[in-house]
Amino acid sequence: MSADQSSGIEKIHRQDIKHVVAVGSGKGGVGKSSVTALLAVGASRAGFKVGILDADITGPSIPKMFGLKTIDRNKGFAPMETARGIKIMSLNLLLPSEDDPVIWRGPLIAGTVKQFWTEVEWGKLDYLFIDLPPGTADAPLTVMQTIPLEGLVIVSSPQDLAIMVVKKALKMAGAMNVPVLGLVENMSYMVCPSCGERIEVFGSSKAKEVTTVTGLPLLDILPLDKTLAEFCDNGQIENYETELFKKLKI
């Protein structure tokens, strides 16, 4: 263990996991979970051993994207594996029904996130991606304080408040001494299936403005894609073609 000087809390290291990358956002509704899933799928296709820790305790969507439902309780505290062998742990996999709500206060949520890191039998992984809930509350704080992150990927969207929410996430990462690996602007545009015109549904892209103001590297600008939405809804995101992981410089 090594002490985290920003909080006085010791981070818990695991020698069996090489790289840990969190994916977060300053607000909800920007597609943070789909970006997490795309990074994991890309890493898996590149031949790496990959896992996803779903830290979005009260709003988990990772299992649905991969077509997973309930963990076999006879296998202990082991994650479920997808068709490609990506290991996933999410509270939704531990509930009797995937549509059961999680009505918990902050300390219980934070404790569960920590437990997913310390007690889950991940085995040897090259990359563990952590899907953070939006904002700067208990779960993201717990992850940044207790898990030795290699860095944070920030997900945003083109709306006018993008710069404000990115700055919030940046300031939190700075306070916790967590490096920020770059920005993904999601849902930036869509391509008309009939004429091929590029349509900026949520207004013009703010990606270059945000990266100029903040100094963040721009990892990618992703479109609204009907195919991706369909794959996510049908639990088949591993069939989606993605180059996002290749742009992550770690």
Average pLDDT of the residues in 139-165: 88
Would 1 be classed as within a structural domain? no
Would 25 be classed as within a structural domain? yes
**Per-residue pLDDT at 10 exceeds 80:** no
Give the strand pairing for 17-24 and 10-11.
unpaired
Burial of 202 (0-12, 13-18, 19+ CB in 10 A): middle
pLDDT at 64: 94
Which tokens in the block code for residue 69?
Answer: 């439902």
Domain count for the chain: 1
**pTM attached to this predicted model:** 0.92
pLDDT at 5: 43
Dist CA 59 CA 80 (whole Å): 18
**Per-residue pLDDT at 139 exceeds 60:** yes
Provide the domain limits for residue 213. 14-239
| CA–CA distances in Å: residue 236 to residues 33, 68, 89 | 14, 10, 17
pLDDT at 8: 54
Would 221 be classed as within a structural domain? yes
pLDDT at 183: 95
Average pLDDT of the residues in 69-94: 87
Would 9 be classed as within a structural domain? no
**Gyration radius (Cα) of the chain, Å:** 17
> Which pLDDT band, with edges at 50, 70 and 90, does 160 fall under?
low
Would 83 be classed as within a structural domain? yes
Within 8 A by CB and 6+ apart from 20, the residues are 127, 128, 130, 147, 148, 149, 150
**What's the chain's average pLDDT?**
89
Would 250 be classed as within a structural domain? no
Give the tens place of pLDDT for each residue, 189-198: 999 888 989 9
E-only strand ranges, the chain: 2-3, 10-11, 17-24, 50-54, 80-81, 87-89, 125-131, 151-156, 180-185, 190-191, 198-199, 218-221
Within 8 A by CB and 6+ apart from 250, the residues are 19, 21, 150, 151, 181
Average pLDDT of the residues in 201-213: 89
**Per-residue pLDDT at 94 exceeds 80:** yes
- When mean pLDDT is compared across 48-52, 75-79, 193-197, the lowest value belongs to 75-79
Would 219 be classed as within a structural domain? yes
**Per-residue pLDDT at 137 exceeds 80:** no
Q: Name the residue with tokens 């992984």.
A: 125
Helix 162-175 vs helix 207-214: crossing angle, to nearest 10: 40
**Per-residue pLDDT at 82 exceeds 80:** yes
pLDDT at 59: 81
Would 58 be classed as within a structural domain? yes
CATH number at residue 209: 3.40.50.300
